[in-house]
């Protein structure tokens, strides 16, 4: 006689390695893009000078890189959970790649806009050079 509180049989669904590794590959590709964005931000900080314009541009690139890392991580786990549950349906994301391209255009425009938006430079006048010229 079977016990009433015994465990029910578990339905093990086969996760195809091809799908699991495709999920990992997609995650690694998103991380690679995030590292590239972060590298651009760090390069701006290290070689761009000391001005506030450089810091703003670097901050924009670094913020985008961190947001991309968070997105990649959440999508990896969502897709992994969908694979474990054996869900079917569309796996592609059509919105975020467009947002990433628009962000690159926006960040590059900010960088160029802040770089070329300099006030007219007037060299400082010191008393020594004025005295020697007259």
pLDDT digits (tens, 9 = 90+) for 11-46: 556 667 788 888 999 999 999 999 999 999 999 888
Phi, psi of 77 (to 5 degrees): -70, -35
pTM of the model: 0.71
**What counts of helices (H) and strands (E) characterise the chain?**
4, 0
Specify the length of the chain in residues. 134
Give the torsion sign (CA, 91, 61, 41, 100). Answer: positive
- Report the distance separating Cα 44 and Cα 61, nearest Å: 9
Nearest to 39 by CA among 77, 71, 68, 70: 68
pLDDT, tens digit, 9 for 90 and up, residues 47-98 = 877 778 888 888 999 999 999 999 999 999 999 998 888 888 888 888 999 9
Q: Where residue 127 falls among pLDDT bands split at 50, 70, 90?
A: low
Question: Which of 68, 72, 62 lies closest to 110, judged by CA?
Answer: 62
At residue 89, the pLDDT reads 80
On the 0-12 / 13-18 / 19+ scale of CB atoms within 10 A, 96 is: middle
């Amino acid at each position: 006689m079977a016990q009433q509180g015994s465990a029910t049989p578990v339905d093990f669904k086969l996760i195809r390695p091809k799908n699991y590794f495709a999920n990992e590959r997609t995650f690694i590709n998103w991380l690679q893009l995030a590292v590239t964005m972060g590298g651009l931000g760090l390069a701006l900080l290290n070689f761009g000078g000391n001005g506030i314009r450089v810091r703003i541009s670097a901050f924009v690139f670094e913020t985008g890189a961190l947001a991309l890392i968070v997105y990649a991580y959440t999508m990896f786990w969502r897709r992994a959970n969908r694979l474990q549950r054996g869900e079917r349906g569309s796996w592609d994301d059509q919105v975020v790649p467009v947002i990433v391209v628009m962000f690159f255009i926006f960040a590059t425009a900010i960088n160029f806009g802040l770089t070329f938006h300099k006030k007219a430079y007037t060299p400082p006048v010191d008393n020594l050079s004025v005295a020697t010229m007259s």
